[in-house]
Structure 1
Amino acid sequence: MASYLGLSSGLGFDKNISYWTVPAALFMALLPRFYAGLSGPGKQFFDRSNPRNFTARLESSDLDKRVRQRLQRAEAAGANAFETLGLYAAAVTAGNAAGVPAATMNALSLGYLATRALYTWVYIWGQENRRMYPARTIVWFVNMIIVMTAFVQAGLRL
């Protein structure tokens, strides 16, 4: 497994996997939609011919309020993931084009995926606890710092 991820015998990565994290990020962006509308209790309210109407249909549904809000937050988490995906892909491209070291790009890329996963969890399930409200913003901010760091590193290399 270590060679697959590009781990060297030292402390860093010797193989650049950052481009591979872009499709992984796309897959992760699709997961909240799968959870909310394509499986589980939201499936009956999801219209594949009009998917943008899903949250409105949930609002008028007879689902339990807690479940309905969780499904709506899942839709919002997925939308947020797609909103950041282009910026992330551009940051990966810029970093690699500028020759940012593989270890740096790998660390930033894996950090992006980790914070996206955490953000999605906090947004969908964590927001049921009022004490977790600030966590969503903090995790999103860290996620954006990672993306901007890739751009800054690219700029410093050129």
Structure 2
Amino acid sequence: MTIAYACVLFMGLFPYVAAGIAKKGFDQYDNSMPRQWLAKQTGFRARANAAQANLFESLPLFFAAVIIASINNAPQARIDLLAIGFVIARIAYLICYIANWPSTRSIVWLLGLVCVVAIFFQI
């Protein structure tokens, strides 16, 4: 497994970290109606849930970039480096979202997007 493929696997699972932060250990969590419960949350729980949605939304383009670059025999070291950059940016994104640092969050979101677009240009 390449580093980039490991990043794909990690990112496929990472949104669940945000979901766990939004739900874990909180009083009156209703697992029979999780969406309704989450809709009523505020503060970092609401931000973690919003981050979860955005993390899922970012996956298709990242997955496609890694797969297309790999199929086209782009230099693996560059794909790996950019995939790691994307993962680091998305981890920072979650931290910034939960901490309520919107400007920094937007910057790291953009850095992650730049990494994904750059993977496409490795072809």
Alignment TM-score, normalising by the size of structure 1: 0.72
Cα distance in structure 2, aligned partners of 1:87 and 1:51: 27
Does residue 51 (structure 1) correspond to residue 34 (structure 2)? The answer is yes
- Contact residue 119 and residue 139 of structure 1 kept, 8 A: yes
Does residue 34 (structure 1) correspond to residue 20 (structure 2)? The answer is yes
The offset of 1:81, in angstroms, is: 0.3
- Contact residue 39 and residue 46 of structure 2 kept, 8 A: no
Larger radius of gyration: 1
Q: Per the alignment, in what secondary structure is the counterpart of residue 31 of structure 2?
A: coil
Cα distance in structure 1, aligned partners of 2:119 and 2:32: 38
Alignment TM-score, normalising by the size of structure 2: 0.91
Q: Which ranges in structure 1 are unaligned for 5 or more consecutive residues? A: 1-14, 59-67
The offset of 1:30, in angstroms, is: 0.9
Provide, for residues 61-100 of structure 1, a one-character-per-residue CA deviation record: whole Å limited to 9, x for no partner.
xxxxxxx310000000111000001111111101101111
Aligned counterpart for 1:146 among listed residues 108, 115, 121: 115
Report percent identity of matched pairs: 32
Distance change in 2, residues 1:40/1:101 (3 Å):
same
What does residue range 45-124 of structure 1 map to in structure 2 within 5 Å? 45=29, 47-58=30-41, 68-124=42-98
Aligned counterpart for 2:7 among listed residues 11, 14, 21: 21
1:4 alignment counterpart: none
Partner amino acid for 2:7? Answer: T
Q: Which ranges in structure 2 are unaligned for 5 or more consecutive residues? A: none
Q: Per the alignment, in what secondary structure is the counterpart of residue 105 of structure 1?
A: helix
Provide the alpha-carbon RMSD of the alignment: 1.6
Partner amino acid for 1:107? Answer: L
